[in-house]
């Protein structure tokens, strides 16, 4: 209930200011001020009730609008106080609203306005103590200037503190909103990157598998009348390829399902699966030769996946574009601080839709993650060649491989 009450009060500030004004008004009406006598014998008399009521209303009622127009309210109350001084009325409870108005200036307006309000009040105290209309200045009146000034300064400092506190709170709220926007923007960027990664993986898996299945199905349709055994082998290859593609897709999309921890632990294909990939391509009738050279070094799992997908995409494009009589060579070489994958065919020499297809874009995205580069262009003497080169930092690769081994053992 208390937090709700505070929220309601913040939304109805004029009602709160009215409640604040009423006690001041009642106190000013009950405690009457005194006129300063103009006669030599120093006789004083009280202010008439109507005059006291008018003075109280003029000083207190403007406080209702102090939050909306703080400078105007302070000016009105200060003007009424000046008229009070002119007619020779002592300082009384009617003058408390002047302190509230000064506090509001210090809390809501700039520092210069706060200083101006303080000076106006201090000058008013000096005027009230130093010169009362028609009466000599009592020596004891000057002793009240210091405690009055200290109290005035304390109220003014409280207003400045509230102003500083409010600005600090607003800055924290603005910072929180900015951090929220940055967090949302980072989440959107991460989501876009994840969508791009999933789209890239699905493109590579589906494009390769469907290409192999189409070629095998075409071969089976041609051989079904003349060589039934060969047609059966081709259809079995279609089934095996389809099941393999489904397994890879389930493994890849499983990380998107909540609570599916096993999918994240499933090993991804790497360089050790290159012979299986080459054998799958050979089963379609495309001659492929695989050579692996250099001293093998441990590679990060992501880099191994990139090598496998690049080889898969390049061989898929050879099947689609190189022609029926093409042969292909796949070479993986571990060099000094880098690993190089080279796929070359002797076919027609046009693949990747002249460099504008999604396959080449996918290759470049994968290699760019590791600071490498990809070149895909017609080879000398005919055919087409794809070269992917990625730098290898052996220490970081060993660390990633070591961190991946427990997950792979747990999955097995």
- Beta-carbon contacts of 169 under 8 Å, excluding residues fewer than 6 positions away, are none
Q: Examine the pLDDT at 132 and tell me if it is beyond 60.
A: no
Q: What tokens were used for 292?
A: 């692996």
| Ordered domains of the chain (ranges, CATH) | 2-137 (no CATH), 286-412 (3.30.565.10)
For residue 358, give Cα distances in angstroms to 56, 195, 259, 322, 361. Answer: 82, 15, 32, 18, 5
Least confident of 177-191, 342-356, 360-374: 342-356
**Using CB atoms within 10 A of its CB, is residue 313 exposed (0-12), middle (13-18) or buried (19+)?**
buried
Q: Which of 9-23, 109-123, 179-193, 265-279 has the highest mean pLDDT?
A: 109-123
Residues in contact with 223: Cβ distance below 8 Å, sequence separation at least 6, in sequence order: 230, 231, 234
Q: Provide DSSP, 341-393.
A: EEEEE-S-S--HHHHTSHHHHHHHHHHHHTT-EEEEEEPTTSSEEEEEEEE--
Where are the strands (E) in 230-298, listed by range?
288-294
**pLDDT for position 262:** 47
Res 341: pLDDT: 93
Q: How far is CA 9 from CA 12, 28, 103, 158, 162, in A?
A: 5, 26, 19, 21, 17
Confidence of residue 270 (pLDDT cuts 50, 70, 90): confident
pLDDT tens-digit map of 291-329: 998 888 888 878 888 898 888 888 888 887 777 778 899
> Are the CB atoms for 251 and 264 separated by under 8 Å?
no
**Nearest by Cα to 267 from 277, 257, 252, 253:** 252
Task: Kindly report, residue by residue over 213-262, the tens digit of the pLDDT.
Answer: 887 787 788 778 788 887 887 788 788 777 777 776 776 666 555 444 44
pLDDT 10s digits, 64-114: 888 888 899 899 988 988 888 877 777 777 778 888 889 889 888 888 999
């Amino acid at each position: 209930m208390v937090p709700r009450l505070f929220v309601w009060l913040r939304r109805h500030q004029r009602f709160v200011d009215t409640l604040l004004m009423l006690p001041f008004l009642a106190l000013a009406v009950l405690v009457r001020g005194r006129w300063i006598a103009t006669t030599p014998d120093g006789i004083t008399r009280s202010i008439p009730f109507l005059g006291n009521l008018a003075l109280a209303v003029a000083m207190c009622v403007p406080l209702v609008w102090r939050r909306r127009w703080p400078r105007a309210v302070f000016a009105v109350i200060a003007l009424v106080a000046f008229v009070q001084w002119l007619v020779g009325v002592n300082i009384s409870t009617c003058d408390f609203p002047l302190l509230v108005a000064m506090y509001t200036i210090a809390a809501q307006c700039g520092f210069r306005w706060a200083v101006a309000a303080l000076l106006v009040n201090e000058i008013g105290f000096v005027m009230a103590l130093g010169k009362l209309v028609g009466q000599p200045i009592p020596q004891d009146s000057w002793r009240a200037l210091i405690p009055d000034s200290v109290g005035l300064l304390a109220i003014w400092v409280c207003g400045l503190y509230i102003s500083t506190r409010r600005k600090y709170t607003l800055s924290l709220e603005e910072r929180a909103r900015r951090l929220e926007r940055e967090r949302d923007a980072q989440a959107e960027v991460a989501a876009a990157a994840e969508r791009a990664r999933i789209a890239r993986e699905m493109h590579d898996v589906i494009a390769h598998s469907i290409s192999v299945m189409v070629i095998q199905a075409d071969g089976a349709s041609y051989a079904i009348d003349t060589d039934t055994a060969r047609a059966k082998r081709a259809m079995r290859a279609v089934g095996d390829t389809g099941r393999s593609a489904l397994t890879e897709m389930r493994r890849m999309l499983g990380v998107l399902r909540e609570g599916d921890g096993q999918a994240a632990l499933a090993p991804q294909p790497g360089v050790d699966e290159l012979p299986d990939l080459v054998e799958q391509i050979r089963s379609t009738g495309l001659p492929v030769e695989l050579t692996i050279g250099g001293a093998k070094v441990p590679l990060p799992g992501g880099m191994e996946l990139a090598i496998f997908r690049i080889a898969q995409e390049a061989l898929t494009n050879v099947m689609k574009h190189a022609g029926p009589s093409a042969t292909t060579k796949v070479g993986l070489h571990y060099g000094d601080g880098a690993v190089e994958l080279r796929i070359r065919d002797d076919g027609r020499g046009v693949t990747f839709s002249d460099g504008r297809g999604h396959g080449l874009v996918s290759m470049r995205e994968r290699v760019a993650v590791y600071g490498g580069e990809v070149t895909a262009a017609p080879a000398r003497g005919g055919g087409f060649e794809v070269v992917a080169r990625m730098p290898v930092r052996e220490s970081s690769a060993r660390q990633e491989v070591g961190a991946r081994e427990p997950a792979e053992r747990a999955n097995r």
